[in-house]
């Protein structure tokens, strides 16, 4: 073949070679906040809602009744133009999307529509089509809490509590809200499963709410370096109320506002000093309120019943004790078919399980049992008198859905792989099961909790198929105790060659209430992990003792010495890495954020000869600088555990630093306040060690949007400069 023909032949083959070549990831592809994340790598989804037993598929401009077996359209329900015509006839503002509409009443053709400016409508879309109800609320409101029975809306503004009734009249419930006193907001720094501060009674006639007085709490001097709305160029103080471990904490009380009498009473719980009030629940008849009350040591709790009209204590229903810490994170739930009984989640036998009680405080029976944990109770099937819950019984790294009868018999529902997030309809007969597994990005099934039937209605395409994806492996090693299995994730470069030597980075979190390895897509690998593997790093993560969902003994192994046992387990992971012929043991790095930032810094200073390079983000440095609720639960107070605080403080280890360490923090971090990082820098200066420092002015504990992409570029460059 002459040269001309050879060139033509090579040219003809070029397009097929280009097409066969896989794409490379960018940080913008892999990180939320990246410009191409949702387009290129985030799994697609479908928005599905329940209207009674009807499964409704929602889109921007239309919604339709969906066949629960096939996912096919059965019949159209309404279009965006259709509901906007109804709104136009009523002289109402139009809505721009149907993606997030809902159907609050099973027996009425009513759709709840919301606008971004706080305007809400209930539209009748069949028969006598009209706007049934509308609400125009203060655009400055926060913490919305709407009750579909009464149409009453509770919200907060400038730390005061307001209620707007179904007719649109607004009642200001409190007037002394300020930086020191907060109403209707979550309290105890969101511990104990508290994520809100208002609680409507079942029919929406009464509102229970938190009042938090933090006037006695120290103010942490956060600084705004870019003040707006002022002629001054000087940075301004924007202090946080931050009770550090062992210091004076806030005081919480619980009020009840009666929509009929327009009066507020407070529960007569006694002196709130050094006590926690959590897990508020209403009795089904709206006459009683239940609350779990803990001492400051978090060793003793009691479920207390109160009269909702008078606030008087009726009785202590039961008590619970743990020598280390007792941590209730879910309110009691009454059985819909028997108001004399409720279920309660407890770790009293060592694992989180469901217990059945009567209202006299007698335990009827333990409904679930085993060396696995119930995550949460999703709801009830009111036709079959069954409980639907999620647990990791199938595997410690999975989250599956189960149906439980009152005799204690339970069965897994639907697909038995992966990590599941279910959504019940009001009767509990049907369930939308949204889940992923290591092998697929997202499936959505419809399940019948009575017959245990399930059918797939949506499967997302694997957008990663276009990319050169690293190989991801799951495995177990033994913990430092020699008996406990720990799960790890290992990510190898896409062009992995077992005969080469690769640098390795350990991504670590390690703390309670979190994990990093599970049976979600790609075994829970973060986008940055994939990016680093693409750049030629072996990426490794291990869930050590102290992390979540493995039972009380597993978590409490770290009690009073946070970081000590965790590091021992992580070093077992390092031993495993070093045993791999393709890992260069002289080029090991470590990275983590928050508790993981603490672990990173602690590993670099406790075992200074193990890691060549580390990046610690938003780190705890000394637990005496951390907040009361979390810090004292796991460490007790600095006064009662001085040795534990001393041994785990990284200020005392600053002089041990040998490798290259970059510490990154948000300039206005309200969780791990800047004092942690800055005090460590001071200790390193005094000890003649040389970490590097990077900050994100104005950001909090985490970075979002563009800053998140920028952050991970900074982290990547540090490892490229000092590890590779």
Pairing label, strands 613-617, 419-424: unpaired
CA 365 to the chain's CA centroid: 31
CB 252 within 8 A of CB 188: yes
Distance, in Å, from the CA atom of 264 to the CA atom of 278, rounded to the nearest integer, reads: 20
CA–CA gap between residue 207 and residue 147 (Å, rounded) = 10
722 noted as active-site residue:
no
In what helix (H) or strand (E) does residue 144 lie, and over which residues does it extend? strand 142-146
d(CA 50, CA 379): 14
Distance of alpha carbon 75 from alpha carbon 486, whole angstroms: 50
Count Cβ atoms below 10 Å from residue 337 Cβ, excluding itself.
Answer: 13
Question: What does DSSP say about strands 660-666 and 613-617: parallel, antiparallel, or unpaired?
Answer: parallel
Of the candidates 594, 602, 676, 712, the residue annotated as catalytic is 594
- Measured CA to CA, the distance from residue 550 to residue 572 in angstroms comes to 18
CB 230 within 8 A of CB 273: no
The catalytic residue among 145, 543, 669, 699 is: 669
Residue 598: other Cβ atoms inside 10 A: 30
Buried b vs exposed e over 271-300: b needs ≥16 C-beta within 10 Å? ebeeebbbbbbbbbebebbbbbbbeeebbe
Rounded distance between C-alpha atoms, residue 594 and residue 625, angstroms = 13
Q: Are 333 and 281 spatial neighbours (Cβ–Cβ below 8 Å)?
A: yes
**Structure-token match 């999620």, residue found:** 390
- Residue 203: which residues within 8 A CB-CB, separation 6 or more? 147, 149, 150, 286
Cα–Cα distance between 324 and 389 in angstroms, integer? 27
The yes-or-no answer on residue 420 being catalytic is: no
Report the distance separating Cα 247 and Cα 274, nearest Å: 10
How is residue 652 written in tokens?
């005392």
Q: What SS3 state is found at 305?
A: strand
DSSP designation for 399: B
Q: Where do we find the tokens 């007969």?
A: 429
Residues whose CB is less than 8 angstroms from the CB of residue 670 and which lie 6 or more positions away in sequence, other chains included: 220, 222, 240, 242, 700, 701
- Tell me if residue 701 is catalytic: yes
286: left (phi over 0), alpha (psi -120 to 50) or beta: left
Q: Which two tokens stand for residue 150?
A: 């009464």
Q: What span, in angstroms and rounded, lies between the C-alpha atoms of 666 and 674?
A: 7
Residues annotated as part of the active site: 594, 669, 701
């Amino acid at each position: 073949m002459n040269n001309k023909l050879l060139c033509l032949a090579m040219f003809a083959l070029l397009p097929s070679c280009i097409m066969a070549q896989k794409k490379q990831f960018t940080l913008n592809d892999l990180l939320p906040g990246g410009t191409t994340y949702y387009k290129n790598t985030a799994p697609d989804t479908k928005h599905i809602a329940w209207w009674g037993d009807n499964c409704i598929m929602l889109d921007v401009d239309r919604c339709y009744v969906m066949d629960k077996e096939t996912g096919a359209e059965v019949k159209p329900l309404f279009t965006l133009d259709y509901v906007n015509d109804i709104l136009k006839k009523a002289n109402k503002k139009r809505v721009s999307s149907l993606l997030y509409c809902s159907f609050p009443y099973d027996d009425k053709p009513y759709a709840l529509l919301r606008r971004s400016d706080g305007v809400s409508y209930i539209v009748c879309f069949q028969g006598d089509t009209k706007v049934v109800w509308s609400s125009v609320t203060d655009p400055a409101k926060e913490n919305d809490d709407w009750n579909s029975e009464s149409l009453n809306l509770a919200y907060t503004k400038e730390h005061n509590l307001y209620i707007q009734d179904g007719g649109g009249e607004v009642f200001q419930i409190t007037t002394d809200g300020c930086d020191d006193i907060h109403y209707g907001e979550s309290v105890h720094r969101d511990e104990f499963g508290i994520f809100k501060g208002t609680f409507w009674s079942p029919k929406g006639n009464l509102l229970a709410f938190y009042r938090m007085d933090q006037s006695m709490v120290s103010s942490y001097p956060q600084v705004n370096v870019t003040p707006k709305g002022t002629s001054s160029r000087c940075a301004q103080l924007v202090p946080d109320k931050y009770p550090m471990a062992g210091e004076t904490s806030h005081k919480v009380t619980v009020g009840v506002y009666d929509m009929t009498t327009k009066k507020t009473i407070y529960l007569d719980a006694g002196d709130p000093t050094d006590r926690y009030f959590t897990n508020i629940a209403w009795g089904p008849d709206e006459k009683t309120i239940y609350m779990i009350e803990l001492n400051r040591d978090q060793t003793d709790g009691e479920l207390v019943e109160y009269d909702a009209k008078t606030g008087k204590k009726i009785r202590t229903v039961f008590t619970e004790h743990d020598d280390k810490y007792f941590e209730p994170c879910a309110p009691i739930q009454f059985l819909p078919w028997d108001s004399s009984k409720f279920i309660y989640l407890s770790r009293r036998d060592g694992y989180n399980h469901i217990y059945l009680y009567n209202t006299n405080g007698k335990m009827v029976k333990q409904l679930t049992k085993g060396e696995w944990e119930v995550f949460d109770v999703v709801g009830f099937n009111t036709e079959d008198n069954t409980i639907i819950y999620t647990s990791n019984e199938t595997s410690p790294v999975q989250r599956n859905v189960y149906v439980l009868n009152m005799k204690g018999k339970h069965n897994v529902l639907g697909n038995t792989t992966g990590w599941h997030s279910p959504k019940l309809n009001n009767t509990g007969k049907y369930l939308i099961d949204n889940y992923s597994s290591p092998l697929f990005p997202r499936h959505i099934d419809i399940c019948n909790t009575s017959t245990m039937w399930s059918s797939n209605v949506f499967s997302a395409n694997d957008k990663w198929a276009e990319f050169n994806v690293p190989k991801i492996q799951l495995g177990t090693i033994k913990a430092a105790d020699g008996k406990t299995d720990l799960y790890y994730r290992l990510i190898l470069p896409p062009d992995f060659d077992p005969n080469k030597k690769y640098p390795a980075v350990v991504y670590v979190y390690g703390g309670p209430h979190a994990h990093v390895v599970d049976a979600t897509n790609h075994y829970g690998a973060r986008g940055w992990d994939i990016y680093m593997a693409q750049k030629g790093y072996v990426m490794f993560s291990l869930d050590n003792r102290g992390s979540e969902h493995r039972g009380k003994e597993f978590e409490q192994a770290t009690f009073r010495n946070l970081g000590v046992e965790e590091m021992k387990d992580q070093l077992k992971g390092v031993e495993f890495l070093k045993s791999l012929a393709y890992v260069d043991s002289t080029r090991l790095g470590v990275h983590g954020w928050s508790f993981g930032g603490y672990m990173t810094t602690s590993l670099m200073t406790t075992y200074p000869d193990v890691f060549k390079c580390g990046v610690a983000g938003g780190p705890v440095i000394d637990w005496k600088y951390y907040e009361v609720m979390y810090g004292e639960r796991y460490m007790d107070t600095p006064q009662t555990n001085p040795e534990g605080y001393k041994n785990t403080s990284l200020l005392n280890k600053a002089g041990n630093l040998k490798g290259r360490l970059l510490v990154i923090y948000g300039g206005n971090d309200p969780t791990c306040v800047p004092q942690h990082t800055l005090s460590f820098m001071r200790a390193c200066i005094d000890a003649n060690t040389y970490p590097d420092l990077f900050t994100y002015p104005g950001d909090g504990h985490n970075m979002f949007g563009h800053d998140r992409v920028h952050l991970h570029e900074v982290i990547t460059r540090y490892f490229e400069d000092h590890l590779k």
